[in-house]
Amino acid sequence: MTRNRLRSTPVPGHRDEYTGVDFNLGFHVRSYVLDLNYRVGPNRLTSVATLQLDNWAPLSSLTLDLAAGMRVTQVTGSGTAGQNIVVSKFRQSGGKLRLKFREEIPVDSEFSLTIRYSGTPRPIRSAWGEIGWEELENGSLVASQPCGAPSWFPCDDTPDEKARYEITVTADSPYSVIANGTLISKKVSGSRTTWHYRVEHPMATYLATVQVGEYQQLELGEAAGTAVRAWVPAQLKTQASEEFVQQADMLALYSRLFGPYPFDDYTVVVVEDELEIPLEAQGLSVFGANHIRGDHAWERLIAHELSHQWFGNSLGLAQWNDIWLNEGFACYSEWLWFEHADNIPAAESAREFYGELARKPQDLLLSDPGTRDMFDDRVYKRGALTVHALRTMLGDEAFFRMLHRYISVGRHAVVELVDLKREVLQESRKLGIPDSEVDTLWTVWLDQRELPAFPA
């Protein structure tokens, strides 16, 4: 059985060793059309999800990820080439929606599934706390990394399965609804408003989001042809304009260093509640009221979240053990911002955090940190130091040329370590750096626990 996915290496086994979730094998979801009806007060979701699929294995049954709290009432199938796709049975167990077809679907068919479901969406408990759809004081947010998407829609919840989306949300009119992609229409009907968003660029399930709240829009300028805006509670408008005053400059800098901004626009949402950390989604980031005090205490993370649009969102991960490819580059992007804005060389930031790392336990493998340490700060900092080691080895000109190519080749797809290694070799060989020196760099930073010497 072939495992035809975006990734270049085979799917390892039948279960995601990081999330503990069994893979849904045999098919690919091309698109999700999510039609959500949401009531803020009772936190009640009534939805229809239509998934467009194709299958790379014959299917007499299939599974999707969906939290138990979302109760499915009807599933219908339809073949796009006039095939008769009949769902004979469905049931929910173990976080899965399990479907059986009356007749086996031959390989390479195209078909759709329409799933009606409803419930009170709640975050999913995970090794990293509660993730997914979360009720706020006055509204809701979605932050799903890494496996919270099934809290609000049936999906193939694995980072290497990117798809296109239409997200339509109907909510009471005082509320604004912000989702990924471009707002196509906004229609008022009685006391309710329907917001329709379209995501043209392939998106991983964990990056799909819906933000509902009493927000006002704030224009934050434009950079490299990309509009930057915020949605904020009215009482936080002044602080937000101050806090995000450099957001467009950050976008301009990263567009220069990493290549064109990968999406249509960039939006930040500020919720009324306090959040432990800001959260990333495709095309937008979410901050808590506590991050917006107007004192620039969180400038580092405002830059960090923006850089995830390149590292993590456009260049997705094939598997979670490569998390440093997201977080190492995002953390290094913070240092690049301060290098640009405050003339603090990245080497100085690197030196500071190297010192911090040296005082912490050296029991983590960057290439495979494991479930518990996946979001450990050491992954971020050691990841950024690995990027710094590459820059030190290659020099600025070759380093940024390599980075541009890595980002351009992996755009709107998924990347793995082999992709980065290939681009690095292309530059290192031109410079006459022996392959063995490059191999050593990878080994000491990624595959050994002990902290290597500071890159100089």
Binding-site residue ranges for Zn(2+): 304, 308, 327
- The alpha helices in 318-416, defined as continuous H runs, are 323-342, 346-358, 370-373, 377-394, 396-409
Per CB under 5 A, which region of 58-66, 77-85, 292-300, 328-336 contacts Zn ion? Answer: 328-336
DSSP β-ladder status, 163-172 and 27-39: parallel
Which of 32, 165, 380, 406 is catalytic? The answer is 380
CB nearer to Zn ion: pick between 40 and 330: 330
CB nearer to Zn ion: pick between 237 and 300: 300
Query: Shortest Cβ distance from residue 387 to Zn ion (Å)?
Result: 14
Per CB under 5 A, which region of 180-188, 327-335, 346-354, 419-427 contacts Zn ion? Answer: 327-335
CB nearer to Zn ion: pick between 75 and 203: 203
Tokens representing 32? 């999700």
Query: Shortest Cβ distance from residue 159 to Zn ion (Å)?
Result: 14
Binding-site size, Zn ion (CB under 5 A): 2
CB nearer to Zn ion: pick between 221 and 370: 370
Query: Shortest Cβ distance from residue 280 to Zn ion (Å)?
Result: 6
Query: Shortest Cβ distance from residue 327 to Zn ion (Å)?
Result: 5
Region at 426 (left for phi over 0; alpha for psi -120 to 50; beta for the rest): alpha
Question: Pick from 109, 106, 114: which is nearest to 54 by CA?
Answer: 109
Spatial neighbors of 370 by CB under 8 A, at least 6 apart, are 18
254 annotated active-site = no
Q: Say how many CA atoms lie within 13 Å of 96 toward its Cβ.
A: 16
Within 109-128, the residues that bind Zn ion by CB under 5 A are none
397 annotated active-site = no
284 to 186, 372, 416: CA distances (angstroms): 19, 27, 24
Which of 161, 305, 416, 427 is catalytic? The answer is 305
Spatial neighbors of 13 by CB under 8 A, at least 6 apart, are none
The closest residue (CB) to Zn ion is 330
Among 330, 346, 394, 398, binds Zn ion (CB under 5 A): 330
Give 344: exposed, middle or buried? Use CB within 10 Å, 0-12, 13-18, 19+.
middle
> Taking CB under 5 A as the rule, does residue 143 contact Zn ion?
no
Report how far residue 111's alpha carbon sits from residue 131's, in angstroms, rounded to the nearest whole number. Answer: 30
CB nearer to Zn ion: pick between 160 and 327: 327
- Catalytic (active-site) positions: 305, 380
Residues binding Zn ion (CB under 5 A) = 327, 330
